[in-house]
Each structure stands twice: as structure tokens, then as C-alpha cells.
Amino acid sequence: MSFERIKEKLNILADAAKYDVSCSSSGSKRTNTNKGLGDSSGMGICHSYTEDGRCVSLLKILLTNHCIFDCAYCVTRKSNDIKRAAFKIQEVVDLTINFYRRNYIEGLFLSSGIFKNPDFTMERLVAVAKKLRTEGNFNGYIHLKSIPGASDELMREAGLWADRLSVNIEVPTISGLKLLAPDKKHEDFTKPMLKVKNEIIQYKEEKKVLKSTPKYAPAGQSTQMIIGATGESDKDIMYSANHYYKNYNMKRVYYSGYVPVAEDSRLPAIGSQVPMLRENRLYQTDWLLRFYGFSISEILNDKHPNLDIDVDPKLSWALRNLNNFPVDINTADKRMLARVPGLGMYSVSKILKARKFRKLNWEHLKKIGVALNRAKYFIICDSHQWEKRDLQAYQIKGMILQNSQGKFRKNYSSQLSLFN
Amino acid sequence: MKNSKVLIYDGSFNGFLTTVFKAFDEQVQIADIQKNSAAQRGLFSETETVFTQMDKAKRVWNGVQKKSNSAIKNVYFAFLSETKGIELLLYRYIRNMFSTTDMLHLNFTDDTILKISQLAKSVGREKHRMEAFVRFQLTQDDVYFANIEPDFDVLPLISKHFRSRYADQQWLIYDVKRKYGLFYDLNSVEIISLDLKEIHTNSIRKSDAFTGDEYNYQDLWNNYFKSTNIKSRINMKLHTQHVPKRYWKYMSEKKEAV
């Protein structure tokens, strides 16, 4: 093959695919039993990190950036004047296998602009996955994009070859979608999602009876939302995410701070800052919901429709609910320990194990790795020294901010810096 | 009271376990346990050399494993950290474990236990890094070849990962710091040592040991690496935190930055 031509295509089609956030390569159970290439039974691996600090785990490309749609937020929309290119199926297969053999990647994340119609496009994505599995004997990770509007039959076949499927909902609200992507209907997104969800449920049922039932999307499905393109509140975003977690059994919802790619009066102007801090706060909230036992209405509700920018959502919740504190480290249950600011789930598990041997004091907690600068206002332990002043929420917040540094602090601090 | 002794072993993990067995069996008062390559005579203690015996090593391994799977993993991983004085620390860890029926290895308020679990974690992290950062280059004789220089001696830990992943290609991973490597010949993995004339970092200068296509693929990969970066989100601090600079010279996508 001609490496020069491939290089040109790769540059165009990787550049267009990079706004997809997901790079997860874990959660599959595809072991290398046939002495073939690859194994995706272990944990995910990030093989490299780009200079923006994001993980590179999969070869993330579009099959083509030709597209019949004109979604305002998208870099490959048809009205955008950019270079177009398309890979041949065999080219994607060769690239994936050769990158994989050199230990560059965990597998392939294949998406595409929509050419001709959704089914025509989906068919080609499925063909790549099928070829990798059957001809390439490939057991690496394959993530396929479900094309909005693709038929149920194709979604069924896609799941037989791929490890994960995803449709990006992109705009968290239906009204926002009408504004930015007038050609697409909300149902186009949810229909393939629903099909995949039902197939996964069915696969799990059948597997109980017949162990050799062919795998169906073992790493589940995920979706992605753009943040900061249409003026929605954090509450809108997280309630929407919660909806997809609950009703479509999503493995993950990704939040992607909008990177301006076009001059359009409906969108933030080119050059406006990517809302990275907001994105970070949303991910923190996502984690609180999935791993820390919080319910969404505790963190976001009509009284607090947006997350605090200057402190993380758990600390923010604790400051609003000081009546739950202080918590005694040596007696509190797991649920309550997980709610203490400065305690992560690893620390919680270490505390639960260690306190069986002796009562824990500040020294122990520090060694275990608890962030005491935050936690100390909310806990008591085996020591006579603890915060005895009756502090108000704003006082605690002030002291925590004063004694800590945040990487985003300069974004919202009103204080001028002396140097630089 | 018996005099305390310095026990000297051959530096292998099984050698260390044999030493532990001897200390238990003969109730030796241990002053220190040292590798024969780095042994230092103590002023007031006698030394004794211990010869590795697999059956005795196995008995210690099984004994710890019976107590807990995570404890034996901690012992092995922490040993591979090659930290100075690790042998004595591990000896105490194992001795404490056998002295009670409690699940003592979970007592994170104990300094030795916390230290061992932290060391094991560091080694685990390095193992994971090597699974990620190894960059194979295809040689003229059809072997996928990589040099590494890990912080800890993690080759024994990554063997299984690469064996099950690359079952249909010959590969060789060589630790240039510790001067040994793993070679997979499509059937099994063996430990080899090489007389390497040059260390094959992923440099810009091309070597004729590798195929011509090899450099084409490296070129494609470097291009991909650049294209997939979002410039408006640049964060070099996070980048180097994830990929510390000491690994760059072996990674083809960073060769221009070295």
C-alpha cells in the first residue's frame, strides 16, 4: 500500500475523530483462545497520552468524513469547507493490526460521517469489525459507533463483532438538538440504543442456558454529551445522564467540553475557552453517583441547578449538610465514610480494614493517604484534637481554599498574581 | 542469647524464600539478609551463605499463600522493587504473619505492612506502565523487538500478559538495565541474555536491523499521535505526569521530543 496516501488520510480522519472522548478499552472478556492476535480480557491500558493529557488507548478514526448532515457543533458537517477523505475497509484492518502488533494500541474505535444513508454507513463499519475478527483472528478491543437511524438488523450484527457500541447523544436537551441538528430526530439516537440494550439483556439471559452463546457487545454501550454549546444547566446535563444510565444501562456517559469548530451564531465563538473545569466537575458528580452512593437530587436540584466552580461537588454537598457531620472514623458505616470530603473509596476500604486492629488517629489517616486538609473539618478519630469551633459553612470553605492549591484556581480567582 | 547472623543469598526470589525458611527452621537471629553481589560484612555479626533450594522456597511460598493471596502478591511485588533493605522488611512481614491467626496483612496502621503494600503498589504500577509503554520494532528476521529500562525488575510480571496477547508473533523484550530479556518463539517464553552492540531506542536514526516498513508504520503512528491531540486543550503537565520523561527515549511517538 502507499504509505504517503494512507498518511494523508490518517491525518484527516484522526483529526476529525478526536472529539470523541471515549478511549475506554476495559470491561470486555475476549480471551485469546485460538492462538490468534490480541487479548482483551484484562484491564484497559492507556498506551500513550497526547499533549493535552488525554489517554491514547484505541486507534480512533473515522471511516470517512463525508457527511450528508449539517449539525452545527460538528467539524465534519457538510457545509464546512474542509478536506474530505475515506478509508477502504482493508486499509483500516491493516492499520489496526500493524499498530496492535507493535503494542501501540488496545484496538480500534471506528466512527464515521454519514454518507448516502445510515444503513449504508453502518454496514461498512460492521464489515471492518467482521473482517478483523474473522480474517485477522483479532481479539483486541473494537468500539463501533452506532450510526443514528441504523436498522435493528445491523445493530444486532454490530454487537456480535464489537466489544462496545455507542451513540453520541451530543446535545443534552431535545430543544437544543432541534436548534443545532435540525436534520436529526431524537428517536434516531435512542432507537439503536434501545436495540443494543435489549440485545445485551437477551444475551445475558441466553448465556445462562447455553454457555457458548456468541458474545454480544461484552463491554456494553456508552454515549457522550457536549458541554457548554447550548446554555444548558449542570442539572439538565446530569439528569439527562442519569436517565441514560438508568433506562439504557449505559456503561459510561462522557462529557465533552465544547471545542469551537465553526463560526455560527448559535454557538460559542471560535477561540472561546473550552470549559474544562466544568467538565471536570461533571465527571466528579458522575463518579459520586456511580461509586459513592449519592443520588442525583442530593447534588443537583432546583435550589442548586449548577455545580460550584471553586469546590468539588462532594465538599459542596457536605457544606450544605453540616448536620451530618462530624463523622467518627472508627465507627461510621461505609456509606457515611464515602461521604466525607477528602476520603476516596480506596481510603475508605483501607480504613474499614485497618480499624479492626486498632482505633485510628490522625497519624494513621495521614499515612493511609486521606486528604486531611479537607477531611479534618468533618471527622473525629482516636484523638482529643479535632475541630471544636462551631464553624459556619463559609468559614470552612474559606479555610480549605486558603490552605490548598487547585490546578484551575487561576480560572476563577479574582486575586491578581504578583509574578508572571 | 545466640549471636545474630547476616544471611547471604544469591539475589533470586527463591533464594530469598529459602533464606526465610532457614531462619524459621533453625531459629536464626537475623541481623540482615543481603544479596551476594552487594554483601557487606557487619562488625559484630557472623555471616552465612544460603544456597537456593526450590522445595524449601516452595514451602514458604505456599505457607504465605495459604494465609492470603494478596499477601503473597505483596511479598513478590515488593521484593521486585529491589529497594535497599527490602529483604529484612519482608522477613519481618512474613514472620509477623505467621505469629498470629489474624489477617494481619490488612493492618495498615503498622509501618512495615503499610510500607510493603505501598512498595507492592509501586511495582504494580511499573508493571502496568511496561504493558503500556513497550514499543515493538519489527526486525529483519521477523521478531518484534523492544528495549525497556523499568524502575523495578518487572519482566517476570509482564511475561504472561505479552504471551497471551501476542501468541502468533515472535517477540523479545530486553531490559537494558538488568541485562536480561524475555523471548517468545511462538511456543514458550524463555529468559535470555544478549550481547547487545547498541541499545535500540526508538531514535530518529534508522537502523538496518529493522524492516523498511517498520519505519513507515512508526511514521504513521507518530502522525496519528499528533493528529489526535486537541491543541486548545493543551496540558503538558498532565502529559508528563502520565508519561514521565524517563520513558520517552523508548517510545516512537516521543522520539522527536527526546
Per-residue DSSP letter, B67: H
HSE at residue A327, side-chain half, CA atoms within 13 A, is 21
- pLDDT above 50 for A194: yes
Residue B112, pLDDT > 90, answer no
pLDDT in tens, A38-75: 888 878 899 999 998 899 999 999 999 999 998 888 88
| pLDDT given for residue A365 in this prediction | 93
Q: What is the pLDDT of residue B220?
A: 94
> Kind of pairing, strands A164-166 and A141-145?
parallel
pLDDT at position B42: 64
Chain segment A325-350, per-residue pLDDT in tens: 999 999 999 999 999 999 999 999 99
**Cβ contacts of A19 on chain B, cutoff 8 Å:** 230
Q: Shortest Cα distance from A52 to chain B (angstroms)?
A: 4
Chain B residue closest in CA terms to A50: B229
pLDDT beyond 50 at A21:
yes
DSSP tag of A170: B
Does residue B43 surpass a pLDDT of 70?
no
DSSP assignment of A221-241 equals EEEEEEESSS---HHHHHHHH
A17, A32, A99 member nearest B221 (Cβ): A99
Domain definitions of chain A by residue range? 3-271, 313-412
A154 touches B: beta carbon within 8 Å: no
- Which tens digits make up the pLDDT trace of A262-309? 788 888 888 778 888 999 999 999 999 999 999 999 999 999 999 998
Does the CB of A359 have a partner CB in chain B at under 8 Å?
A: no
Q: What is the full DSSP assignment across A365-410?
A: HHHHT--HHHHTTTEE-SSS-S--S---HHHHHHHHHHT---TTHH
Check whether A416 has a pLDDT greater than 70.
Answer: no
Query: Residue B119 pLDDT > 90, yes or no?
Result: yes
**Residue A420: pLDDT over 50:** no
How far apart are the C-alpha atoms of A112 and A115, rounded to whole Å? 9
Instruction: Measure A171 CA to nearest chain B CA, in Å.
Output: 21
Please indicate if any CB of chain B lies within 8 Å of the CB of A410: no
User: From the candidates A357, A361, A363, A383, which should be mutated to test the interface with B, based on the most B CB atoms within 10 A?
Assistant: A357
Cα A168 → chain centroid = 11
Residues 270-309 on A with a CB inside 8 Å of B are 274, 276
| Shortest Cα–Cα distance, B94 to chain A (Å) | 18
**Can you give the residue ranges of every domain in chain B?**
5-126, 134-254
Question: What's the rounded Cα separation, in Å, for the pair B37 and B11?
Answer: 8
Residue to mutate among B96, B100, B106, B109, with most A CBs inside 10 A, is: B109
Phi, psi of A395 (to 5 degrees): -70, -45
- Enumerate residues 227 to 246 of chain A having a beta carbon within 8 A of any beta carbon in chain B: none
DSSP secondary structure letter of residue A415: S
In B, minimum Cα distance to A11 occurs at B227
d(CA A339, CA A348): 10
For the segment B242-246, the average pLDDT, to the nearest whole number, is: 92
If you search the block for the grid coordinates 499477601, which residue do you land on?
A: B71
Q: Contact B229/A19, CB-based, under 8 Å?
A: no
What is the distance, to the nearest Å, from the Cα of residue A296 to the centroid of all Cα atoms in its chain? 17
A203-235 exposure pattern, b = at least 16 Cβ within 10 A, e = fewer? beeeeeeeeeeebbbbbbbbbbbbbbbbebebb
Query: How does residue A10 score in pLDDT terms, banded at 50, 70 and 90?
Result: very high
| Top-confidence residue, A273 or B242 | B242
Calpha distance A182→A202 (Å, rounded)? 34
Give the closest residue to A51 by CA, choosing from B81, B7, B105, B256. B256
Torsion from C-alpha of A15, B246, B258, B155, nearest 10 degrees: -80
Task: Say what the pLDDT of residue B147 is.
Answer: 92
Q: Are the beta carbons of B228 and A56 separated by less than 8 Å?
A: yes
Whether the per-residue pLDDT at A127 is higher than 80: the answer is yes
Q: Is A368 on the interface with B (CB under 8 A)?
A: yes
**C-alpha–C-alpha distance, residues B88 and B35, integer Å:** 11
Instruction: Give dist(CA A296, CA A236) in Å, integer.
Output: 11
**A103:B136 CB<8 A:** yes
Contact indicator for A124, B158 with CB cutoff of 8 Å: no
Mean predicted confidence (pLDDT) in A242-255: 94
A7 and chain B: CB distance < 8 Å anywhere?
A: yes
| Whether A194 contacts chain B with CB within 8 A | no
Q: What is the pLDDT of residue A71?
A: 87
Query: Residues B133-174: pLDDT tens digits?
Result: 999 999 999 999 999 999 999 999 999 999 999 999 999 999
Residue A214, preceding peptide bond in cis (omega within 30° of 0):
no
Please give the grid coordinates belonging to residue A63: 471511516
ipTM: 0.90
pLDDT at B102: 65
Average pLDDT over residues A245-264: 90
Measured between CA atoms, how close is B166 to chain A, in angstroms? 6
The CA distance from B149 to B153, in Å, is: 9
Instruction: Provide the pLDDT confidence category of residue B103 given band limits of 50, 70 and 90.
Output: low
**pLDDT at residue A417, as a whole number:** 55
Given a contact cutoff of 8 angstroms between Cβ atoms, the answer to whether B98 and B72 are in contact is no
User: Strand B5-9's sheet: what is its strand order?
Assistant: B30-35, B5-9, B46-49
CA-nearest residue to B165 within chain A is: A38
Q: What is the interface size between A and B, counted as CB pairs within 8 Å?
A: 149
Cβ neighbours of B223 in A, within 8 Å: 7, 10-11, 14
Three-state secondary structure along A192-218?
A: HHHHHHHHHHHHHHHHHHCCCCCCCCC
Cell numbers at A410, concatenated: 487561576
Mean pLDDT, rounded, of chain B: 89
Q: How far is B23 from chain A (nearest CA, A)?
A: 27
CA distance A258 to A267: 9
C-alpha span between B30 and B20 (Å, rounded): 10
Beta strands in A1-77 (DSSP E): 48-49, 55-56, 58-62
For A36, the closest of B104, B168, B217 (CB atoms) is B168
Alpha-helical (H) ranges within A249-326 are 276-291, 296-299, 313-320
Considering only residues A414 and B178, tell me which one the structure prediction assigns the higher pLDDT.
Answer: B178
Q: Cell triple for residue A28?
A: 470486555
Q: How far is A101 from chain B (nearest CA, A)?
A: 7
At the second CATH level, the architecture of A3-271 is Alpha-Beta Barrel (3.20)
